[in-house]
Chain A
Amino acid sequence: MSTVKTGEPVLLSGNEAVAYGALAAGARFYAGYPITPSSEIAEVMARELPLVGGKFIQMEDEMASLGAVIGASLTGLKSFTATSGPGFSLMQEHVGFAAMAEVPCVVIDVMRGGPSTGLPTKTSQADVMQAKYGSHGDYPSVALVPSSVLECFTLTVKAFNISEKYRVPVVLLSDEIVGHMREKVVLPSQDEVEVVDRIKPTVPPEWYQHYQDSITGVSPMANFGEGYRFHVTGLTHDVYGFPTEKPSEISALLEKFKNKEIHNSRDLTMVEEFCMEDAKICIFAYGSVARSARMAVKILRQCGVKAGMLRPMIVWPFPKIPVENMLERANLVIVPEMNVGQLRKEVERLSNAQDKIHGINVLDPTFITAEQIVDKVRDLRAKNRRTGEYIIG
């Protein structure tokens, strides 16, 4: 495997942990274009991949990077790229292609301040909606959000596993803080890492359908150069992959995409509940901001406030059931985010009492602190003591 030590403490940055996670998941192809704050991932891959017989290439831009990744994945190599906002925007054309052609691949987006060139060295969470709706058309989106260095490793492995299992592009939404901070971690050894590989066809080539109909939305996948001689296109296609304009075949294809999310929703839900058993004040936080939220919960608990945190590790598909459960029991929901409230709106959509949902939205590069979250709770409680709306404690 990689040159990093496993089973004993090492000091790693989040970006390094992503790279080692990818290697542990079996990634053997990387194509990318340098961009702050993601470049360390490329640098580790450039060093490690040749040592394990893998392929690394620095492409001429981000469209080319994801194009090369998809090409390599079609030959059977687990493939990925890493970028940040501006590059992620350029990649959207091929995110859609990978979704349409059902080619497994992973895109790491280490978020930085936007829009446009924005704040290259400062953190943000403003690409959450881009990870969902960035490319045109309706397609299944999967996005994972790590909030620690260790999670950069484990969720990257998970991202590859989901991608291979469901034949979908998967996005890992890291951010500048998680990517650049260093923590002491103990990485699991290769045997301890659960690795999922794509399902290979068992039928002879004459019977092979590259997009075989299936209720779960997943079909076995052959690789180029193995005798199956299939066709891959970004055009709407039939079960063989050949272009089609027949309404019945088109709706079957788009239905299959929907089924990937619907029929696998349990597997695609991953949340952490922190002090949620009796919580009345719930903080819905993800990524680096969840670190402050965890601290805020601890402070509030010390003050006798029944606070808790719901932290999605997979934000797309949106964790509907855990959020509904939270909304049912909470008197107050705080959604701190480093954007204008991209996921707060998703929480509000599931609620019939939207006035109990409040955002903390910081758009400048000063990070959201635990104190800010605690202060917000205090202000809201004070206000509500007057109106008597919430009974908290």
Chain B
Amino acid sequence: METHNKMIELMHRHLDGDLKKEEEVILRTHLEECVSCQHHFHDLKRTISLLKSVETIEAPINFTENVMAKLGAEKKHFKYKRWFKTHPLITAAAIFFIFMLSGAFVQFEGQSELVVSKQENLIVKGDTVIVPEGVTVEGDLLVKNGNLIIDGTVDGNVTIVNGELIDDDPLEGEGLMASVGEINGELNTVNKMFEWLWFQAKSLFKGVFSF
């Protein structure tokens, strides 16, 4: 069994074009004398040719027109964004000014301890916040100065300031199983001073322009 598994590993590496000369000889020699591995190898190659035989599908008629029509609706929002991006100096100066006034620098620089916007049913381990499996956070979640693991569900936007979302990927070790938890909203990770300002400015301008 041990040898067969090793050979199956070699088959896959052969299919990816990763086999060294000597490994190729080992695989070929084994295939000559092992019927079960011959079948396995044959089935793998056949699977690939079956996959390749699937036909092409074309986009529905008017697809491009429909996309362009929808873009018309996006345009307004986009124009502001574009203006900010093409006038970075004015934007930066304006943002700087606004935040000098509002004391946002203090907000960002002054705190280094972990802050979580909600704590019901959440686990805090050191500087990591965990949304456990089966738990649903209703509404937005903000984590400052710490990392976040989501095994459950967040029904809202997630913002992480000075930290990151850890995808602990339980799939890797084992078989084909369901995936990690989910965010039913937007994920924003803010790690640098400027990004933080940009993020604040975006929410501010969204507020200003959303009437």
Q: Is chain B a partner of chain A in the same complex?
A: no
B interface residue numbers (CB < 8 A to A): none
A interface residue numbers (CB < 8 A to B): none
